[in-house]
DNA sequence: CCAAAAGTGTTGAAGTTACACCCATGC
DNA sequence: GCATGGGTGTAACTTCAACACTTTTGG
């Protein structure tokens, strides 16, 4: 009945997390800085990730690793897929770094990537473990990352683009009270294209996921905007069932 | 520069393949029969899958394993995702079977699943290796499979449902010449619901992916149908770009 | 002549796109 | 009073769902 190494790190399987946040202007991504000496940014920065234990499932591992490295917890994660060409550890700096933290630094590793959406202000990351720093960086400013993490990030952004077409998004990215313009900007950031203001407003209002709070912004040097919150019930329903208005 | 065990089997990572075929009536799935003694079908049948080698990438591994077990090759595979709860090997029969074929039968395994669509008549499977038999089985008749393969099959069917809403499907499932009714039945099998005949025809014809061959079926005891083939150029274009007519 | 599947059009409702001007506020 | 972003409506067009009858063949 007993398996070997049940609560040992598995040298061959890791998880990586792509955590998106929105600062009311643009999409950001949570990265850790491995901070080794004076390397270029693209090798110092990485997605939070690490090996799994043999007795935890993949999603649990992703939660644990994310918390260990950045202190973020209780976050809903969605799988992106598995990555792991044999040559994913081809950069010399990555190999050197693995030698410093892994028992079997040369082992073949395949990694399972997860992504999530969170309110940036609720999740101010604190680095720990081998992360020297953990920070939000605008998604568009990231040009490269350690290992194959840049590919994983692109896959996550594509996944998000698909997701937004099928279900509502924003509940986990916006503050409790928000304006339609902020939601509009969020959609534009994710889809990476402009959307007509009037059509966008009409469309989301028809979804019936918004409740007008009959409050206005204060202190802005222009006409103050109405504030909204999500209608949780309807939002949840659409999250589960999708819009279902496309294709066949 | 040398890694250990470069061309060894990795005990912790496997691949599994869900291969769909269409017999002009319904959707079928390729399964192998492990044929151990007189076990019930749900434990004898499994998806073709096995451990990866350390020096091959995941997709290559899926190709290799598929060919080794069923003789099918040169098939385009698409990743479904990673599966691998620690308790995925909970059925006693599965554990016993692993003991008979694996060097480390108790090792934690995570598996990466792939799926594909093929013309059934082009790919008559021949079992080999530990597969005692390999055969097409109607998807709807499968009630259970070894390990967590039934879950993987369901995930594959869902993936296929999503895919069909975004790109054309059928090129790899139908014979070169086919009728609109056959295509219609294919879509109904995948989506698992009825589609209005006239609306379906209008819709696919507008996609402009079909070429009317101006030939008719022969030998059928009813009005013979016109035969079509796919317009490859347009089909490829839509496969890459998607229909892009949904959501925002 | 019968059974079986092929093929074909219309209508009303809903959704999509494109587009331009006035409004309320802080400074 | 001006700069800034907030907020609103319409018309032309396309897409969608629902629905029933005639045609051609083999037996």
State whether A247 and B166 contact (CB < 8 Å): yes
The DSSP symbol for A37 reads T
State residue B15's pLDDT score: 98
Asked whether strand C has any atom less than 7 Å from the CB of A240, the reply is: no
A83-106: average pLDDT: 92
Q: What is the Cα–Cα distance from A191 to A183, expressed in whole angstroms?
A: 12
State residue A7's pLDDT score: 79
Strand D nucleotides with an atom less than 7 Å from a protein beta carbon:
3-10, 15-20, 23-27
Q: Is the confidence at residue A1, as pLDDT, over 50?
A: no
Joined tokens for residue A224? 């103050």
Share of chain B above pLDDT 90, in %: 81
Residue nearest to nucleotide C15 (CA to C1'): A203
How many Å apart are A186 CA and C12 C1'?
36
DSSP for B5-68 reads TTTSEEEEEEEEEEEEEE-SSSEEEEEEE---TT--HHHHEE-SEEEEETTS-HHHHHHHHHHH
Residues of A with CB below 8 A from B203's CB? 248
What mean pLDDT value characterizes chain A? 92
State whether residue A245 is helix, strand or coil.
coil
Residues of B with CB below 8 A from A200's CB? 248
Asked whether strand C has any atom less than 7 Å from the CB of A244, the reply is: no
Pairing of strands A78-83, A110-119: antiparallel
Which nt is closest to the CA of A218, judged by C1'? C25
**Residue A166: count of CB within 10 angstroms of its CB:** 19
Residues of B with CB below 8 A from A58's CB? 82, 84-85, 110
A197-223: average pLDDT: 96
State residue B3's pLDDT score: 45
| pTM for this model (two decimals) | 0.93
3-state DSSP: chain B helix, strand, coil percent, rounded to 5? 35, 25, 40
Share of chain A above pLDDT 70, in %: 94
Distances (CA, A) of B115 to A5, A44, B29, B143, B157: 32, 36, 10, 19, 9
Q: Which helix (H) or strand (E) holds A120?
A: none
Residues of B with CB below 8 A from A195's CB? 248
A155-181: average pLDDT: 95
Q: How many H helices and E strands in chain A?
A: 7, 9
State residue B16's pLDDT score: 98
When pLDDT is cut at 50, 70 and 90, the band that residue B7 belongs to is: confident
Residues 205-234, chain A, CB closer than 7 Å to nucleic strand D = 221-226
Cβ contacts below 8 Å, chain A against chain B, sum to: 98
State residue A123's pLDDT score: 87
Q: What is the Cα–Cα distance from A31 to A41, expressed in whole angstroms?
A: 11
pLDDT: is B187 or B6 the higher one?
A: B187
Cβ distance B214 to B228 under 8 Å?
Answer: no
Q: Is the confidence at residue A232, as pLDDT, over 60?
A: yes
State whether A247 and B54 contact (CB < 8 Å): no
Asked whether strand D has any atom less than 7 Å from the CB of B215, the reply is: no
Share of chain B above pLDDT 70, in %: 94
State residue B190's pLDDT score: 97
Asked whether strand C has any atom less than 7 Å from the CB of A247, the reply is: no
Q: What is the Cα–Cα distance from B205 to A158, expressed in whole angstroms?
A: 29
Long-range Cβ pairs for the range A199-202 (8 Å, 24+): A200/B248
A18-27: average pLDDT: 96
pLDDT in tens, B153-180: 999 999 999 999 889 999 999 999 999 9
State residue A248's pLDDT score: 66
Q: What contacts B92, CB < 8 A, 6 or more positions away?
A: none
What mean pLDDT value characterizes chain B? 92
How many Å apart are B21 CA and C6 C1'?
25
Minimal CA separation from A221 to chain B, in Å: 30
Q: Which helix (H) or strand (E) holds A162?
A: helix A149-164
Interface of A with B (CB under 8 A): 3-5, 10-13, 52, 54-58, 79, 81-82, 84-86, 106-108, 110, 112, 164-166, 187, 191, 195, 200, 203, 243, 245-248
Q: What is the Cα–Cα distance from A112 to A74, expressed in whole angstroms?
A: 19
Minimal CA separation from A173 to chain B, in Å: 18
Nearest to A165 among B4, B11, B248 (CB): B248
The DSSP symbol for B178 reads B
What pairs with residue B37 in β-bridges? Answer: none
Q: Which helix (H) or strand (E) holds B202?
A: helix B197-207
Asked whether strand C has any atom less than 7 Å from the CB of A245, the reply is: yes
Task: Catalogue all structural domains in chain A, each as residue range(s) with its CATH number.
Answer: 9-163 (3.90.79.10), 168-240 (1.10.10.10)
Which nt is closest to the CA of B180, judged by C1'? C6
Q: How many H helices and E strands in chain B?
A: 7, 9
When pLDDT is cut at 50, 70 and 90, the band that residue B205 belongs to is: very high
State whether A82 and B86 contact (CB < 8 Å): no
Joined tokens for residue A144? 């490269």
State residue B244's pLDDT score: 67
Residue nearest to nucleotide C27 (CA to C1'): A221
pLDDT in tens, A107-154: 999 999 999 999 998 888 898 999 999 999 999 999 999 999 999 999
Q: Is the confidence at residue B1, as pLDDT, over 80?
A: no
Asked whether strand D has any atom less than 7 Å from the CB of B216, the reply is: yes
Q: How far apart are the first and last CA of chain B?
A: 49
State residue A3's pLDDT score: 45
What count of Cα atoms within 13 Å lies in the side-chain half-sphere of residue A95? 13
Residues of A with CB below 8 A from B112's CB? 82, 110
State residue A5's pLDDT score: 54
Cβ distance A66 to A73 under 8 Å?
Answer: yes
């Amino acid at each position: 009945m007993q398996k070997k190494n049940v609560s040992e790190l598995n040298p061959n399987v890791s998880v990586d997390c792509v955590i998106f946040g929105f600062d009311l202007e643009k999409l950001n991504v949570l990265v850790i800085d491995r901070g080794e000496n004076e390397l270029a940014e693209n090798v110092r920065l990485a997605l939070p990730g690490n090996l799994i234990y043999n007795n935890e499932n993949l999603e649990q591992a992703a939660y644990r690793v994310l918390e260990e490295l950045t202190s973020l917890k209780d976050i809903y994660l969605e799988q992106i897929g598995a990555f792991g060409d044999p040559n994913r550890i081809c950069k010399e700096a990555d190999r050197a770094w693995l030698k410093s933290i892994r028992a079997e630094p040369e082992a073949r590793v395949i990694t399972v990537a997860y992504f999530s959406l969170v309110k940036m202000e609720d999740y101010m990351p604190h680095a720990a473990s081998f992360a020297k720093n953990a920070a939000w960086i605008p998604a568009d400013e990231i040009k490269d990352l350690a290992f194959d993490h840049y590919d994983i990030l692109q896959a996550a952004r594509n996944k998000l683009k698909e997701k937004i077409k099928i279900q509502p998004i924003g509940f986990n990215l916006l503050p409790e009270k928000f304006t339609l313009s902020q939601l509009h900007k969020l959609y534009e950031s994710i889809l990476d294209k402009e959307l007509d203001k009037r059509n966008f407003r009409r469309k989301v209002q028809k979804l019936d996921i918004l409740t007008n709070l009959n409050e206005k912004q204060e202190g802005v040097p222009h006409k103050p905007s109405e504030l909204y919150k999500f209608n949780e019930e309807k939002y949840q329903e659409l999250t589960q069932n999708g819009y279902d208005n496309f294709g066949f």
